[in-house]
Amino acid sequence: MTPVVAALDVQTLVDAIGQGAVYALMAVGIGLVFGVLRLVNFAYGQLIMAGAYALAFASAGGWPVWAGIALCYVVVVALSLVMELLVFRPLRTQSPAVMLVTTFAIAFILQAAALVIDVRDGTIGQAATSIASLNRAVTIGGADVRKITIVAIVVTLVTLGVLALVLGRTSIGLHMRAAAADFATARMLGVRANVVIGSAVLISGVLAATVAWILTVQQPFVQPDFALKETIVVLVGVVVGGIDRLWTATLGGFTIGFASGIINGALPTDKTVFLPSVLFAFVIVVLLLRPQGLFVRGRSSVVDRV
Amino acid sequence: MSRRLDPAVQLLGPCLLVVAAGLLAGSVSRSVEIDVLSAIVSVAIVVSIYVFIGNSGVLSFGQISFVAVGAFAAGVMTIPLESKQGVLPDLFPLLRDHSIGNLPSLGVAAAVGGTYALLVGMPLMRLSGLAAGIATFAVLEVTHNVLREWTKIGPGATTLSLVPETTGPLQATLGALFVIVVAFAYQRSRLGRMLRATREDGAAAEGVGINIHRQRLWAFVLSGALAGLSGGLFVHLLGSITADQVYLEITFITLAMLVVGGTGSLLGAVVGALAVSGLDSFLGRAEEGAGVGPLTLDLPQGSRLIILGVLMAAMLILRPAGITGGREFSLRRPSRGDTKGVGQ
C-alpha cells in the first residue's frame, strides 16, 4: 500500500463528508439568492464572519450557549435583510455584472468593519469557545469522529429536508420557484417580488448563521477573513455544479467540499500548495465547456456567451 | 474652437492632470512624494484596466494578474546579479544568471503581461457577463497561487526585495502618459471603435460583420501589456513586492477607482484613479493618526477600506456612470449620449 492510499481512512472520509455538508449549506444560501435575483453574493462569507463575531462576543461576555447562538442568528439575518434593502433592492434592475461588483465592495466594507471593531482591544481576532466542546471526538466503529462532524451532517440533512418541503409544498416556495424560473412572468401572475426576494434573503441568512456556529467549532479563533476562503471555494463549487438550479448548486458545493476534504486529508501539505490553481483552472474549463454546470442537463439561460 | 481639435483636447485633459501630479511630486516632502507617485502609477494601472473593461463593457477581476506578472518579471530581472543568487537561489538558471536595466525591464514587463493576457484571453474572451466575472476571478486566484508558491520564477511567499527604485517623478509621469496615449489611440482606432460598437449592441455589431471574440481579445491583450508595464512601474516605485500586494485588495481599490471615475471614458479612469488615490492617502494618514493640513482626523485602522467601499457601492447604486458620466474631456457644454457603465 502506498502511503497516500493508507491515509485515506474512515476518519478522513467522515471528515470530508462533514466538510461537504457545511459547503452544501453555503451553496444553498448562495444559490437561493441567485435564483430570485440573478445575484452572486460575494459578501456571503462576510455574513458568516459577522455571525462568528457575534458568537465570539457572546462567549467573551460569558453568555449562555443558547443566547450566543440566538444572537448569531439575529445578527446575520438582520444584516442580510439590511443588505437586501440598501443594496440588492436598488440594484435589482441592473445587470448581474454590476451586482457582482457591488457585492464585492460590500464584502470589503464588512471585512474592514470587522477589523475596525476588532482592533479596539489591540489584537486582531477573538475566540468563540462557547460550543467548543463539540470538537471532542467520539469513537464509532474504530474511527474517531468529532461530534461537530456528526452535528454538521445531521443539521445539513434536516435543513435540506425542511427546505425541500418549503419549496415544494408551501405557496411561498412555489412563488420562489416560479420567480427563479421566470421573474417577469411570475410577477404578472401575481407573485410579489419583494416578498419572494425577502424570503430568499431571509432563508439564506439563516443558513449563513448556521454555517457560522458550525465553523466556529472547527476554527474557534475568529478573524476578519473568517470563512473568506471557504466562500471562494463554495462559489467555485456552485458555478461548477450549475448555479442556475438550486440542487445542482448544492451538489456542486458538497462535491467540492468533499473533494478538498479528501485531498487535504490524504496528501501532505507540501503536495497541496498548488491545489487552488488546479481548482480554479478547473472552474475556467467548466465555464468554457459546460457553462450551464456539470450536473445540469440541457442548456442554461444564465450564462450568456459570445 | 474647431471640432477638429476635439480629439486633441480630449487627450490633453487627462495628460495635464498627470503632468500636474508629476510636477507636484517633485515639489513636496519625501513622504508626500511617495503618495503622489503611487497615485500616478495607479493612473497607469486603472487606465490599462479601462482599456479592456471600459471599451468592451465586460467585467474582469483578472487584470491585476497582469500587473502582478509584470511587477514580478521587472522585479526579478532587475535585482543586481551579485545579490540575486543569494536571495533567490531556486530561480531557473536563465532568470538567476541574468539581470537587465530599468528600461528593458519595463519592456519585459509589458511583453510578459501581454503574452499572459493572450494565452488567458484566447479561451476566456468567449465568455461575458457573470461567467466572465467569475472566470477572470479564477485567473486572479491561479496567478496569485502560482506566484506565491513557485520559487523557480520568483520569491514565493517571501518578499521580493532589492529591486532598484527607479520610478521617480519623471519615470512615473512618462509611464502614465505613455499608457494614456496608447489607450486613447486605441479607443479612437478602427479596432477600438469596433469593440465599443459591440459594447453598445452585440447583435447589431455582429450584424455589420464585427467578430466580437477577436475584438475583445485585442483589447484584452493590449490591456494586459499596459497592465504589465504598470506593474513594472509599480515594483520600481516600491523597491520590493509580495504576491499578496497584487491580489484582492488592489483589485478592489483599482475597480473602485474605475467605477468612481466612470467606466465609460478614459477621463473617468484618470480622474477616478487620482481622486480615489488622494482620498486613500488622506485616509491612510488619518488611520496612522497624523494630521493632514488643517484637518486632524484620527480614524481607526481599517476605516479606509470601509469609506472606499461605501463610496464605490454608493456610486454603483446612485450613479453607475461615475463622476464623469462616461464623457471625455471637453471645453464644450456636455452633451447627452455615450454614458454607459460596465455591463449595461
- Beta bridge pairs of residue A126: A222
The upper half-sphere exposure of residue A36, i.e. CA atoms within 13 Å in the direction of its Cβ, equals 32
Gyration radius from chain A CA atoms: 19
Give the one of A97, A284, A288 whose C-beta lies nearest to B342's C-beta. Answer: A97
- pLDDT reported for residue A198: 92
Residue A149 identity: T
pLDDT per residue over A210-237, tens digit each? 999 999 988 888 888 888 888 988 988 8
pLDDT per residue over A83-94, tens digit each? 999 999 888 888
Do the domain assignments include residue A6? no
What mean pLDDT comes out for the span A73-98?
Answer: 89
Do the domain assignments include residue A275? no
- pLDDT reported for residue B341: 44
- Contacts of residue A114 in chain B, CB cutoff 8 Å? 302
pLDDT at A113 over 60: yes
- pLDDT reported for residue B309: 87
Between A78 and A194, the more confident residue is A78
pLDDT per residue over A176-186, tens digit each? 888 888 888 88
- CA angle, corner B99, sides to B49 and A273, nearest 5? 60
CB contact under 8 A, A97 and B310: no
pLDDT at A23 over 90: yes
pLDDT at A41 over 60: yes
Q: What is the 3-state secondary structure (H, E, C) of chain A?
A: CCHHHHCCCHHHHHHHHHHHHHHHHHHHHHHHHHHHHCCCCCCHHHHHHHHHHHHHHHHHCCCCHHHHHHHHHHHHHHHHHHHHHHHHHHHCCCCHHHHHHHHHHHHHHHHHHHHHHHHHHCCCCEECCCCHHHHCEEEECCEEEEHHHHHHHHHHHHHHHHHHHHHHHCHHHHHHHHHHHCHHHHHHCCCCHHHHHHHHHHHHHHHHHHHHHHHHHHCCEECCCCCHHHHHHHHHHHHHHCCCCHHHHHHHHHHHHHHHHHHHHHCCHHHCCCHHHHHHHHHHHHHHHCCCCCCCCCCCCCCCEC
- pLDDT reported for residue A8: 61
- pLDDT reported for residue B202: 87
Q: Which positions ≥6 away from A11 have C-beta within 8 Å?
A: A143, A144, A145
Which three three-digit cell numbers place residue A168? 415544494
Is ipTM over 0.90? Answer: no
Q: CA of A18 to nearest chain B CA: how many angstroms apart? A: 25
Q: Which is nearest to A105 in space by CA: B256, B66, B184, B210?
A: B256
Residue B191: alpha-carbon gap to chain centroid = 21
Q: CA of B135 to nearest chain A CA: how many angstroms apart? A: 5
Alpha-carbon distance B249 to A259, whole Å?
Answer: 29
Q: CA of B262 to nearest chain A CA: how many angstroms apart? A: 13
Query: Domain of A67?
Result: 11-227
Do the domain assignments include residue A232? no
- pLDDT reported for residue B294: 53
Please count the residues of chain B: 344
Per-run averaged pLDDT (10 residues), chain B, 344 residues: 76 87 84 89 95 91 95 92 81 83 92 96 85 88 92 86 87 94 94 92 90 94 97 93 90 88 89 91 78 61 83 86 81 55 43
Do the domain assignments include residue A258? no
pLDDT at A270 over 50: yes
Residue A123 identity: T
Please check whether residue B23 touches A, CB under 8 A.
no
Domain count, chain A: 1
- Give the residue from A44, A87, A104 with the most B CB atoms within 10 Å of its CB, the best one to mutate: A104
Is residue A17 within 8 Å of residue A258, measured between CB atoms?
yes
Do the domain assignments include residue A287? no
- pLDDT reported for residue A122: 66
Alpha-carbon distance A283 to A289, whole Å?
Answer: 10
Percent of chain A with pLDDT over 70: 91
CB contact under 8 A, A112 and B255: no
- pLDDT reported for residue B101: 87
What mean pLDDT comes out for the span A30-45?
Answer: 89
> Whole-angstrom distance between the N-terminal and C-terminal Cα of chain A?
49
Do the domain assignments include residue A238? no
Give the one of A87, A104, A288 whose C-beta lies nearest to B317's C-beta. Answer: A87
Interface subset of A 165-204, CB within 8 angstroms of B: none
Alpha-carbon distance A58 to A62, whole Å?
Answer: 6
pLDDT at A13 over 50: yes
Alpha-carbon distance B200 to B208, whole Å?
Answer: 13
Give the one of B123, B301, B310 whose C-beta lies nearest to A119's C-beta. Answer: B301
Do the domain assignments include residue A216? yes
Q: CA of B118 to nearest chain A CA: how many angstroms apart? A: 15
pLDDT at A305 over 50: no
- pLDDT reported for residue A285: 87
Gyration radius from chain B CA atoms: 20
